[in-house]
Copies of this chain bind each other. A is one copy, B any other.
Amino acid sequence: KNLNKWDISYHNGNKNIEIDGTFQDSIYIFKCENSAVKVNGKINCISVDGCKKLTLICDTIVSYVEVINCNSIDIRVIELTPTVNIDKSQSVNVHLSEKALDGNTTVNTSKCDAVNISFPNPEDKEDEVEYPIPEQIYTIVKENKLYPQIYFHDKSSYYFPK
């Protein structure tokens, strides 16, 4: 730890990394594989960069959790995060709590595939429901403008504004 920044780099096969943080702390997890990180307490932000097969469990995030250049990441937010940013990554599962269901969490994705969001099933809270984030945009060129739209493979999972 350096000032308010925790640096967790190059762990391989370490499933017992645990941090007790404060709301001023930021955590940077870099190039870890087959590992698990548990973060207790309220944290400012967490970055996961260049990791494979990583499990991250955290409580409350003040600003964001971000995932960049990763493959096979499992994130569980026990309390709440306002933002999850996922960029240039694949196979990212984000498990949110019941508190996210009031519209308090936004997930931003770019250059990603196989990103799934899970939250408690309203009919059985011990269970989870999982929805994929759409990953394809189709753009029609017409009348000298672009008409970009999200391509929904399975429309049942989503809300469509009227």
| 0/1 string, A110-147, CB within 8 A of B gives 1 | 11110001010010000001010111111111111111
- Residue of A117, A133, A141, A149 most packed against chain B (CB within 10 A): A141
The interface residues of chain B lying within 8 Å CB-to-CB of A139 are 106-109, 117, 133
The stretch among A9-17, A36-44, A95-103 that forms the contact with chain B is A95-103
The stretch among A18-26, A51-59, A64-72, A150-158 that forms the contact with chain B is A150-158
* Interface residues of A, count at CB 8 A: 43
Decide if A141 touches B159 in the complex (CB within 8 Å).
no
Decide if A110 touches B131 in the complex (CB within 8 Å).
no
- Residue of A117, A139, A142, A152 most packed against chain B (CB within 10 A): A139
Is A105 interfacial (CB-CB < 8 Å)?
yes
Which of the residues B96, B135, B152 comes within 8 Å of A111, measured between beta carbons? B135
Docked Cα-Cα span, A151 to B111, in Å, equals 13
Decide if B110 touches A140 in the complex (CB within 8 Å).
no
State the A residues within 8 Å of B (CB).
Answer: 96, 100-103, 105-113, 117, 119, 122, 129, 131, 133-152, 157-159, 161
